[in-house]
Structures are given as structure tokens and as C-alpha cells.
Structure 1
Amino acid sequence: MAECLGFIRYLYLKALVAISRFLLKLLAPTPSSKPDFALRIPSRDKSRVIKVHVYKPRAEENAQSKPAPVLINLYGSGLAIPLHGADDDFCRLIAATTGHVVLDVNYCLAPEYPFPNALNDIEDALKYVLDRPTEYDPSQISISGFSSGGTLALAASTILPLGTFQSLIAFYPATNLYQDPSLRKAPVWGGKDRSPFWTKIFRESYIRGMDARDPRISPAFADTTKFPSRILIVTGELDASAVEAEELAEKARDEGRSVGREVVVRRMKGCGHAFDKKLTGETVVSARKETYELAAEVLRKSQEVSGQ
């Protein structure tokens, strides 16, 4: 009986997510991206592969043909909406200004692939990198993510061995999927809250009966001593995710003082969730430029500290 009810609930969630995907496709353009090329990385799920957009550094950055530093990037999807390619500008800037090869990973989505499938895809992408030490420098791997991609980046940092990632960059991530989203409030009045109903649907589609306090789901409950030595958290003062993200950043800073962890938190004034995806408005365009350059600086500094 329980299995039957679970299957019915899955069909309900799948129907709602399908409607949301359809409406988004009607109302918003499909992300346009221009990577240098695309890879198809083997998945542990033999029925599919993982599509990855690759952004290469400028020719002069790679002139010595030595293994390149790598940034694994994870787009924002609400864990259910296919928006791979939305971070094209960020990926291109990082590749062009830091010498990193950027791998923008099209991880799988719920409800078709619930937790932990997306994290498995990230691990499989990492394995692809580590298996190619002449192409990618295994000592210079960082991870970044936007929105739910930032959530996954934080979670991946806690389940992989310490030292796997040199830097962690998360733009406006949700960190506590256990909390009722209707209770979240932006730090500054005037923010436009995302629909708690749809947030709950997307989260349930991903979590599917697991304990949302699992740190692999909600990084707010993670052991932050496993985080990389360099962290950048970007939030918006009009975003309901800001407070929980900043609280996690402060926890990571406090627990990492003894090991010299550097944690940078930047709350952007006048900016809401996904502010960098808005192409008009002086405030958000300026914030986008500032935070992308800050992310690039974090990655460059990581290389300098490693003596590259």
C-alpha cells in the first residue's frame, strides 16, 4: 500500500513539475550558451550520460601545455528545471581571466532523478577530471554553483575528501531545505519572495521522503571543517535565501579559523535571487560585474597560494 501511495505521489509531483517546465518554456527564453565544445561524461547510471559544456582559457593562458586548473560549475535549477547554459557569461569570463578550464555540468533533475543522483553526477564529473592528470591539474580543482547549484556545490564539498576542492563559490544558495520556505524572509523589506508552493514541490521532488536535515541535502547541517580553505558566498539583500546562506558562511568562518580558512561573504544591495541573470537595471548589472570579478579573484588567489 505504501509503495502504491508513493508512486501516486511521484506521478503528482511529476505532473506539477512538467507543468512548471512547460510554463517556463513559454514565458522565458531557453538559455543560450556558446561553450567551446561539449563533452558526454559516463554516468554510473548506465542508461544515460552527463552532458558538460567546456570553456577553455585563452590560448596564451595554456601556451605551456601544462595541466590546467579546473572549475566545476553547477547551474541553478530549483533541482527540477532544465536551465543548463544559463551561466554561460560567468563560465566564459572565468575561463578567459583565470586560466581555468570550466566544466559546466548538466546534472540530472528531480523528480525523475531524486537525491542523491545529482550529487552522483558531480562525483562522476570529478572522477572524469581526476582520471586525466595530464589534461587537468588534480591539485587545482574548484567548484561553483548558482542557487540550487550552489546548494549542490556546498553539499558536494562536505561528502568528498578534504582537499578535493581548492575553492568553493556559491551564489545565493539555499542551505536549509528542512525549513518551511514560507518562513524565510529577505534581510531587507521589498524583496519579491519566490512561491513557497513551487519551492516545496521542487524540494519534495528531489528529497522524496529522505530526512532533509541530511547535510548532503541541507548544507546548513554539514560539518564545515570539510569545506575548502577558500569560500565565497554571494547573497542578495532582497533574497529570502540570504540569511541562511550567510549563517552557514559565518559558521564556516568560525569553525575554520584554526586552519586559516578564508570566507568572503558579499551581500549585494538592491539585488534579489538570480540577480545576475537579469540583463537590465544599473544595480543588478553592476552587482553582476562585481561579483563575477570577485569570483575570478578568488580563483586566481587560490592558484597564487599554490605557487602556480
Structure 2
Amino acid sequence: MTHLDPAYERALAAFPDHPEWHELGVERARELEAELFSRSTDGDVVTTERTVDRPGGEGAVPVRVYRPPGLDEPAPALVFAHGGGFVLGTLDSADDLARRLAANTGSVVVSVDYRLAPEHPCPAGMDDVTAVIEWTVESADALGVDAAQVGVAGSSAGANLATMAARRVDVPLSVAVLFYPMLDPTLGTPSHEEHADAPLLTRADLDWFWRLYRDDGAIPVDDPLLSPLPDVGGEPSSLADSPSTVVVTAGCDPLRDDGARYADALAAARVAVDHRHYPGAPHGFLSLADAVPAAADAWDDLAAAVLARR
């Protein structure tokens, strides 16, 4: 088993003690997530709040658009879906990740406040991310972005939504950037067992998140809307149409094998893929860049990988 880097241990020790997510219940877990990952206002990235209409008159999706200063127009863009197990997360709690993603990759980032389970199980969140991808392409001129360089990005469960939404749009996407993606509802890989009690995210948390996203278990684990993994429910033939992809995985993360298997599947389908693995890092480690130099270095690696894939 890979052991946690001491630098990450020290950073995580600064977090207040709290029960695991699944022990809190939905309401308290959302409150705690907001407390732990409050919005950052650091940096020069300019933000604007927008809304995107859902098809069929089903209301609007709030989005926050991030633009680094001095970015030439038209600029590359990334539609970003936050993490939180499909159950937690807001634009504010994902603000730091979205800002860093914009600044480090020289992109306009469109962060999506998609609908959450259990109130809105699969495929509601995926539908929202799909609508925002299409809106970003259609609104490219107004946003100052290049419609031919619109990609997707996501963290954890958001990486799942970004990946699945990318398969549903009719426009070609330039790149997919996936941070420690949450892709396997069966929880059947070695990393789910090896790191069942990992910091920030446990196997029991994942079981709870997936059950809520699956409409309290009513949606079977092999439903093709849940995962792109060919051996879970995804269609292998559809992988060949995936955009060039960057996958980030952490060694001390129950989701380690989710991302590794997806990277391998993409490579087998002859999709350009760059798998960046960080052995001593925990789930969510990119959010610790202010405290851990290795996480800041990983952002530099990530930026280089994204630029190379465009």
C-alpha cells in the first residue's frame, strides 16, 4: 500500500476533526463542505455570474465564468464541474480550483452549479453540464472564447459528469481534464479496498454518494449513464470519440484505480491520454497547493499537460 506523504499529513492535520461524510447526512455534510472549502478571493482572475437555460424550460443553471487578466481573445475555454460525490459542492466551495485552473492553463473557465443528488439523481447533473458545454460553444463570441478550443474539466464526481456530458454533445471538444475521477459505482477495484479509510474520502463515503446518485439504489450499477468504463457499463466503441484527455490520480485515494483504468481504456481506444499519477498524495490534493509545495508543483505539471494536448 502506498503511504501518505508527510507533507500532506501535516496539511490534513490542520482540518478540524469531523465524522465521515456518510455519517453526517446530506444537510450537515453540505454545511461542513461549505465550511471547509470556503470561497477564495485571491488572485487577479476576473469572475462573472451567469445563468444557462436548461432545455425544455426546466429552469436555469447558475455558472461562474473565470477569466485570467490579459488573456487574448478568442481564448481556450474549459467547462468545469466540481466534486462532492454528486451530493455536495457549490460554486463557492470549488472557487479555488476554478481560479487555479483558469490561471494555470490560460483558459476561460466556466464553473457549473449543477443539480445535486439525492434531490436530483442521475442524469440531472450530467444534463446540466451538457447544457453548459453547448451554451459555451454557442456563446463563444460573447464570452471571448474560441469555439474550436472548448474543453471540459472536472474533479472527482465532477470529472464523471464532465466525461459523460462530453459524450453527449454534438460538438468536438478540444480536451478533457480529469482530477481523480469517480467512475466505478461497483467499488470493486484494489484501491477501493486498500484505501477504504483514506483521509477526506472513504469507501463508505463513496458507497453513500453512489447510492444517492443512483436514486437511492434504483438505478443499477451497470447503467451506461453512470460510467464511461467499458467493464462497468460504458460502451467501448464510444471511447474512440473522446477528446484528448489528461487524467490526474492520487496514490492514497480509493479512486486511484478509477482514473488509471479509464486512462488505460482511452489508450486502448487510441485516444491521446496523459496520465499524471502522484503516489503519496490523497484525494483532493490539488486543493492543498497553498500548504504543500508538491501540490503546487502538480499544478505546474497539469498546466503543461493541458497545453500539450491542445
TM-score between both structures, scaled by the size of structure 1: 0.78
Q: Which of 175, 182, 186 matches 1:174?
A: 182
The CA deviation at 1:266 is: 1.4
CA distance in 1, matches of 2:131, 2:281: 34
The CA deviation at 1:191 is: 4.3
Report matched runs for 1:63-82 at 5 Å. 66-82=73-89
Tell me, yes or no, if the aligned pair for 2:153 and 2:177 is still in contact at 8 Å: yes
Between 1 and 2, higher relative CO (CA 8 Å, sep ≥ 6) is seen in 2
Report matched runs for 1:170-249 at 5 Å. 170-179=178-187, 184-186=192-194, 191-192=198-199, 194-208=201-215, 209-221=218-230, 222=234, 223=236, 224-228=239-243, 230-249=244-263
Q: Which of 27, 39, 48 matches 2:59?
A: 48
Greater Cα radius of gyration, structure 1 or 2: 1
CA distance in 1, matches of 2:182, 2:140: 33
Tell me, yes or no, if the aligned pair for 2:77 and 2:107 is still in contact at 8 Å: yes
CA distance in 1, matches of 2:229, 2:93: 26
Q: Which of 127, 132, 135 matches 2:139?
A: 132
CA distance in 2, matches of 1:71, 1:157: 12
Name the counterpart of 2:304: 297
Q: Percent identity?
A: 23
Deviations 1:44-63 (A, max 9, x none): 3645321111111322x32x
TM-score between both structures, scaled by the size of structure 2: 0.78
Report matched runs for 1:29-108 at 5 Å. 29-33=37-41, 36-44=47-55, 46=57, 48-59=59-70, 61-62=71-72, 66-108=73-115
CA distance in 1, matches of 2:138, 2:149: 14
Name the counterpart of 1:5: none
> How many positions carry a matched residue from both structures?
275
Name the counterpart of 1:4: none
Q: Which amino acid aligns with 2:151?
A: S
The CA deviation at 1:288 is: 2.2
Report matched runs for 1:263-302 at 5 Å. 263-278=273-288, 285-302=292-309
Q: Which runs of 5+ in 2 are unaligned?
A: 1-21
Deviations 1:12-35 (A, max 9, x none): x9x93224224545x625333575
Cα RMSD for the two superposed structures: 2.9
Equivalent position SS for 1:184 = helix
Name the counterpart of 2:5: none
CA distance in 1, matches of 2:37, 2:74: 36
